[in-house]
Amino acid sequence: MGKVHAVITGVGGYVPDYILNNEELSRMVDTSDEWIMTRVGIKERRILKEEGLGTSYMARKAAKQLIQKTGVDPDTIDALIVTTTTPDYKFPSTASIVLGKLGLKNAFAFDLEAACCGFLYTLSLAGSMIESGRCKKIIVIGADKMSSMVDYQDRQTCVLFGDGAAAVLVEGTEEEGVGLQDMYFRTDGKGLPFLHMKAGGSVCPPSHFTIDHRLHYLYQEGRSVFRYAVSNMSDDVVEVMKRNGLTADDVDWVVPHEANLRIIEAVTKRADIPMEKVAVNIEHYGNTSAATIPLALWDYESKLKKGDNVIFTAFGAGFVHGASYCKWAYDGASVETKH
């Protein structure tokens, strides 16, 4: 038997119907469409409004669509991994809830948390599980209900985030020239002061004090995050290209974490990659954390061709960051159902 390569063989996605646009946000906090579009490039984001629904609801919808689109037999799925910072509950894992709802009979499930880098890290892990031969088919889902931890009284953060989920199927193939090729990941551990939620964890469990002081929301020093994100993501993209002998001309697509259009533009400019080769959908969804990269794959699937050189890159709380290189395994245009 030849070497097994891990390939993505399908993409499914889900975004909630409710659209929170800049006009509505401008009535909630002191901001404007002009400020948001100039500084961040987001026009609208989707919000899961219905009470009692969490991240698993969106993750399940995305996985269901993936199963329908690929026609994979659910009984052949070996593992389901959800990467999220907004799990339904502290425990059990969101993945176990999704697995139960999908009725997967022969799979195990767990969550992996790496903030906005979650999808990149999880895809790499799933790839290794496939390449080892221990698993044959894995569903990887990036899903976040960011609205559950965003303070809609804080104009510095509430304009940035949205809710969504997307899923990919990772399988093995012996075919040469396709699949996950390389990853360059780093965590520098300097990020805590700049991006975190102050209460709700084991250091500061929930109490009346934490509620009264609004400590259960995402806290961020935007300028520092911006600076670290641009320099780390650019260095990571350049490194992964160098390691694999890729010039800017060789790269067909960059699929970046969608946090801020200015970050994306700065990163790709440093790697000399024109914006026509960059998958961008931040205008419509905002930053959906672990879901941004698979949602971009969902939106751009029809444009991706077999053999395309695709570079992923992300940066998130921690600080976690990295880039990976994949040779796309199928012609997206031949996939019948898109959304």
Size of the site for ligand ACO (CB under 6 A): 22
Q: What are the start-end ranges of the H helices in 8-154? A: 22-28, 33-39, 55-70, 94-102, 118-131
How near is the Cβ of 298 to ligand ACO at its closest, in Å?
18
| Bridge partners, residue 162, by sequence | none
Task: Give CA–CA dist 174/172, Å, rounded.
Answer: 7
Report the 10 Å Cβ neighbour count for 296: 28
Assess whether 196 carries a catalytic annotation. Answer: no
Task: Give CA–CA dist 197/210, Å, rounded.
Answer: 11
Interface pick for ligand ACO out of 40, 98, 167, 168 (rule CB under 6 A): 40
How near is the Cβ of 169 to ligand ACO at its closest, in Å?
25
Dihedrals phi, psi of 295, to nearest 5 degrees: -65, -35
CB-nearer residue toward ligand ACO: 116 or 246: 116
Interface pick for ligand ACO out of 287, 309, 313, 324 (rule CB under 6 A): 287
Assess whether 5 carries a catalytic annotation. Answer: no
Residue 31 binding ligand ACO, by CB under 6 A: yes
Instruction: State whether the Cα torsion 69-75-79-82 is positive or negative.
Output: positive
Q: Which one of 116, 135, 158, 326 is the catalytic residue? A: 116
Task: Give CA–CA dist 23/43, Å, rounded.
Answer: 9
Residue 209: its H or E element: helix 208-212
Interface pick for ligand ACO out of 70, 85, 122, 260 (rule CB under 6 A): 260
Question: Six-digit token pair at 259?
Answer: 């946090």
How many helices (H) and strands (E) the chain has is answered by 11, 13
CB-nearer residue toward ligand ACO: 121 or 315: 315
How near is the Cβ of 325 to ligand ACO at its closest, in Å?
20
Assess whether 158 carries a catalytic annotation. Answer: no
CB-nearer residue toward ligand ACO: 29 or 72: 29
CB-nearer residue toward ligand ACO: 12 or 318: 318
Residue 226: its H or E element: helix 222-243
Q: Which one of 22, 135, 158, 257 is the catalytic residue? A: 257
Give the footprint of ligand ACO on residues 45-104 (CB under 6 A). Answer: none
Residue 222 binding ligand ACO, by CB under 6 A: yes
Contact letters for ligand ACO, residues 302-321 (x by CB under 6 A): -------------xx-----
Instruction: State whether the Cα torsion 227-123-111-18 is positive or negative.
Output: positive
Residue 120 binding ligand ACO, by CB under 6 A: no
Q: Which one of 287, 309, 321, 326 is the catalytic residue? A: 287
Are the C-beta atoms of residues 323 and 311 closer than 8 Å to each other? yes
Q: Give residues in contact with ligand ACO (CB under 6 A).
A: 31, 35, 39-40, 116, 155-156, 159-160, 195, 220, 222-223, 225-226, 229, 257, 259-260, 287, 315-316
Active site (catalytic) residues:
116, 257, 287
